[in-house]
Amino acid sequence: MKPEIGPETKVVGVFGYPVKHSASPAMHNAAFRACGLDYLYAAFEVKPEHLRDALLGLPALGICGVNLTIPHKENAIQYMNELSEEAAATGAVNTVVIESGKLKGYNTDIEGFLESLSEDAGFTPGEKKVVVLGAGGAGRAISFALAKEKASELIIANRTARRAEKLVSEIRQKFPEVKIKAMPLSSNSIGEEISSCTLLVNVTPLGMKGEMPVSNTECLHEGLTVYDLIYTPLSTPLLEEAKKRGAKTVNGLSMLVYQGAASFELWTGKEPPISVMKQAVREEVIKRCK
């Protein structure tokens, strides 16, 4: 059992804006309890204009580390003293570890995404055509991961087309063998691209409140795996429509667990209790959706 919270308790947490939807506190606190670790995980609602102060204040407060979620993953890079190879390559940080008063930025979204894609969908991206909707912090990590895993073709669609174009040019430089293209999320050609791909990944928040990230759903087909990073709610209109059309569907729950497990290991040096974390997230999300 985890000891009582006291003066020795080590604090970690998540910075996001908004952050109320996060299931990470339930997941990490359950993991700390199960491992008997004197740690506490808290959610901090940090506005974008306060990110610098919040991050630079971590060593002063003795906080061991934080996760970063929407919208902080890219902006945080400039405040890191050191970056892991993955964080440097993707230009996005989702885990910060404080070591000797310095901030080291990691990106565990890559590992979380690939593990869950393989475990939940039995999908390997090698030689496959993939459409990614979104080019924010998590969209960057996922697109780099897919290119690294040798996807044959990548289409990145984003509301702000320039952001997708920038990401495409960065990936092209690092992985010249991947056929890659950017397009606006509103483009009529997205349907055609989805019709001929085998994996569609939604990395936008569209679906959390019942929205559809794509206007044409006829392109969703039986040979397709649709992966929606959203986990609250557990199913989105995109996943429901994909199911109706015979596609395989995966929600963001297991990615949350695997990226969180990698953060847990970075902060504590201990092996994460995956099954405890999965159960805690599922219970938390079900509780919220009631």
Catalytic residue ranges: 73
Query: Per CB under 6 A, does 28 bind ligand NAP?
Result: no
Q: What kind and span of H or E run contains 89?
A: helix 85-90
Query: Per CB under 6 A, does 98 bind ligand NAP?
Result: no
Query: Per CB under 6 A, does 160 bind ligand NAP?
Result: yes
SS3 per-residue string spanning 207-248:
CCCCCCCCCCCCCCCCCCEEEECCCCCCCCHHHHHHHHCCCE
Token digits of residue 16: 């996001």
Which of 34, 70, 121, 274 binds ligand NAP (CB under 6 A)? It is 70
Q: How far is the CB of 52 from ligand NAP (least distance, A)?
A: 17
Question: Strands (DSSP E) along the chain, which ranges?
Answer: 10-16, 39-45, 65-68, 82-83, 95-99, 102-106, 129-133, 153-158, 179-184, 199-202, 225-228, 248-250
Judged by CB under 6 A, how many residues of this single chain contact ligand NAP? 28
Nearer to ligand NAP, 59 or 234 (CB): 234
Q: How far is the CB of 85 from ligand NAP (least distance, A)?
A: 19
Which of 185, 201, 219, 224 binds ligand NAP (CB under 6 A)? It is 185
Query: Per CB under 6 A, does 285 bind ligand NAP?
Result: no
Count helices and strands in the chain by DSSP H and E runs: 11, 12
**Is 76:41 a contact under the CB 8 Å cutoff?**
no
Q: How far is the CB of 70 from ligand NAP (least distance, A)?
A: 4
Query: Per CB under 6 A, does 197 bind ligand NAP?
Result: no
Which of 131, 224, 229, 239 binds ligand NAP (CB under 6 A)? It is 229
Query: Per CB under 6 A, does 231 bind ligand NAP?
Result: yes
Which of 139, 200, 225, 267 binds ligand NAP (CB under 6 A)? It is 139
Query: Per CB under 6 A, does 186 bind ligand NAP?
Result: no
**Is 71:47 a contact under the CB 8 Å cutoff?**
no
Token digits of residue 105: 């930025």
Query: Per CB under 6 A, does 158 bind ligand NAP?
Result: yes
Report CA Rg, the chain.
19
Which of 19, 46, 73, 144 binds ligand NAP (CB under 6 A)? It is 73
CA distance 133 to 144: 14
Which of 12, 66, 69, 98 binds ligand NAP (CB under 6 A)? It is 69
Query: Per CB under 6 A, does 132 bind ligand NAP?
Result: no
Dihedral sign computed on CA atoms, order 31, 34, 40, 45: positive
Binding site residues, ligand NAP, CB under 6 A: 69-71, 73, 109, 112, 134-139, 158-160, 163, 185, 203-206, 229-231, 252, 255-256, 259
